[in-house]
Amino acid sequence: MIKPHGADALKPLFVYDTEKHHALNKEAQQLPSLLVTSATAANAVMLGAGYFTPLSGYMNLADALSVAESLHTTDGLFWPVPIVNLNQDVSSIGDAKRIALRDPNVEGNPVLAIMDIDAIETVSDEQIDFMAQNIFGTLDPEHPGVATFKAQGNILLSGSIQVLNFSYFQTDFPDTFRTAVEIRNEMQERGWNKVVAFQTRNPMHRAHEELCRMAQKDLGTDGILVHMLLGQLKPGDIPADVRDACIRKMVELYFPPNTVMITGYGFDMLYAGPREAVLHAVFRQNCGCTHFIVGRDHAGVGDYYGGFDAQTIFDEKVPAGALQIEIYRADHTAYSKKLDRVVMMKDAPDHSKEDFILLSGTKVREMLGNGQKPPPEFSRPEVAQILIDYYQKSEG
């Protein structure tokens, strides 16, 4: 199986030892505590789950700026996005060097992790803008990722953490949330060595389904890891539990047994396009995947990124040998009326637009909201029914 990024073995920061876990939980109740942002909490979950191997905690300002600028930490580790703990106010911790980080997303704000503080630094507005511009490629306040990043605050805490729980992900998605450790273990149990990962924050339509099939066939993989984001999204995106139900129904009915693992990870969507695509590749390597599908406008939003920017970044910004995982480059996929199957549009040069069944997201939402199933060439009827029920309930 492929090695984790920058290490021989995964480095999950979750405290698995029961005795130690109990002692740290007890200690945490006595420590000064800080209520962190959702983004900081999501970083803790990813660090705890081993997805962010080999990091040992939150980056300091020098590393965050270096990663934003050159995709490398100051000591040379390849990393695409700053992993930071930014705050507006840290008066609650005084001059403490060891603190409890509290979860903003769970009632009662339980302790998420214990942090040993290496430094508390003030980040200038110019430095925040510099990072945002490099991560997102824009400073437009309408960009959801930019808005979230810039709202976190200008006080940066760096240092190592010990993670004590996985926020709401384990309780809300017990059948789907998995750590990188658990995914590697399950792949081993299944005897999978060559695995292609598919990232999604949406329900999977026919085109996504066929794309996974194409990748598996072209690459000759043992299986497909469908790995869905379970964290915070922008308004209008479909909630994780609905997506989960759609994907499970599709896999149950349309894929052979033991070819797909349906899993999810606890992170908030950045909508950072190319940079997020590289981050997605890093943590899929940590899961043990050998290949990763990068599609058209991967992790994008609006018109901020070119259709294939998330693919070209792997040629332009990822040095040879920086990642072991390989990228499977996908074009826009759609149902061809001529060929009576889903194809990559680039593989059908003799087609005109009219030869494809193409529906905009707005049109699909409108149909589902009216109780109409999109054409079966676009969406499996059983999946469409789950979405119809969701839209009618949420609009009712």
Cα 1 from chain centroid? Answer: 22
Q: Which two tokens stand for residue 219?
A: 């690459």
Among residues 98, 201, 248, 329, which one is catalytic?
A: 201
Per the CB < 8 A criterion, the answer to whether 101 and 113 are in contact is yes
Cα 45 from chain centroid? Answer: 12
Per the CB < 8 A criterion, the answer to whether 335 and 342 are in contact is yes
Secondary element (H or E) of residue 72: none
Residue 303, φ and ψ in degrees, nearest 5: -115, 30
Beta bridge partners of 98: 116
DSSP annotation string for 3-42: PPTTSSS----B---HHHHHHHHHHHHHS-EEE--HHHHH
End-to-end CA distance of the chain: 48
Is 202 catalytic? The answer is yes
Side chain identity at residue 228, one-letter code: M
Per the CB < 8 A criterion, the answer to whether 62 and 75 are in contact is no
Beta bridge partners of 196: 224, 291
Cα torsion at 294, 201, 195, 172 (round to 10°)? 160
Helix (H, G, I), strand (E, B) or coil at 240: helix
Nearest to 270 by CA among 298, 242, 303: 298
Among residues 193, 202, 248, 365, which one is catalytic?
A: 202
Q: With left for phi above 0 and alpha for psi between -120 and 50, is residue 25 left, alpha or beta?
A: alpha
Is 201 catalytic? The answer is yes
Q: Cα–Cα distance between 300 and 275 in angstroms, integer? A: 10
Task: Give the single-character DSSP code of 367.
Answer: H
Active site residues: 201-202
